[in-house]
Structure 1
Amino acid sequence: MRGILSKFAILNVAQRVFDAVLFMAKSYNYSEEQATLLLLKQGNLDAFNTLYNEHGRKLFIHIQQMTKDEDATEELLQDVFMKVWDNRSGIDASRPFRPWLYTIARNTVYNYYRQVAKDHKIQEQLYLHFEDLYHLETDEDIRDKQEALLARALDTLTERRRTIFTLCKIEGKSYEEVASRLGISVSTVSNMMVKSNQQIRRFVQEHYDELLMILLAIHLV
């Protein structure tokens, strides 16, 4: 019983110290985040937990948009925050925490995808992400890279396949609509799409790194 009370007492003191330092930091015109980062640099666990509670859930959602796997996302999230802890001495408290955190997250997710690059399930996930590029709205710099990559992918198709693929995938028309518009059968449209998808998948495999960096820039900013 004494041991339990002793632990509670230590935790209580630690929390009071954390609160007191935050109060003092604010009196010197530090923001609450700056004060928390200064405490984290000194190895304060309460400061670490505060940042985890503030950013963890949002970062989890962003990572899961990439992995589509809850277990992998949870592991990656823990890995990201372990790196934050291990590299706490390098934190610049005068700069916002979020960009630094998301840089660590991008590198962590990138390394994860590099390690599992030969996994067919992961390759399929990346292909599905590639399809998302047709419709995602991004800032101008990323959009330019996005459009350039899409154009190169479409250039691998014959003119006829490119036309059908563009109408079906990018413009969202049904096979029936495309068949009627081009004066061909629905089965021809379907066959063309099968071959086009196979070609685009090969393109994704050959440009894995480039696509991955664009997706990370979109989802982890």
Structure 2
Amino acid sequence: MNDTIHVQLEKLFLSHYKDWCVLSYSYLKDKDEAEEVVQDVCAKVLLKKKTEDVLNLKSYITVAIKNSCLKKIKTQQKFTILSESEIQNNLHDPGEESQLLEQKTGELFRIIEKLPQPAKNIFLRCVIEGEKYQEVADSLGISVNTVKYHIKSAYRNIRSEMISYSLLFLVLLKLIRK
């Protein structure tokens, strides 16, 4: 960065720092975070190699501060949503949750056992044991596309069985609550 840009940025920083902090504060509602964003943006501009390409440095920094604030807000919202969902998850009894997981896993394996033999065998090897499609195809003397077909078929059957199971569960739950 040449010295004229450096001097220009320094003058802008000194003369508009408070304005930029107010702008940042209007988004973040936190004085320390607002100042941090302004300082970070100015530091990034200072370190940027092609600042001389910027026609209006003041406008550029103002927009950069606004965008940084919006990005920070978006990140904070993600953490807030995550925290709320964690709170909801922690309200459940851990024993109840593991029992439900065990029940669903058991039901899934009962459904897998009902699959037609080739689809079941290929599904277990590829999905459960983690073998590559090519390895399974070579060991069974079939094409990779046949392996893919059987995997798709297995998933289709599992989905339809799980939906039936879930619908049955919901109907029973509704009948119990009456």
TM-score exceeds 0.5: no
TM-score band, normalised by the shorter chain? 0.3 to 0.5
Bigger radius of gyration among the two:
2
TM-score for both structures, normalised by structure 2: 0.40
Q: Which has the higher helix share?
A: 2
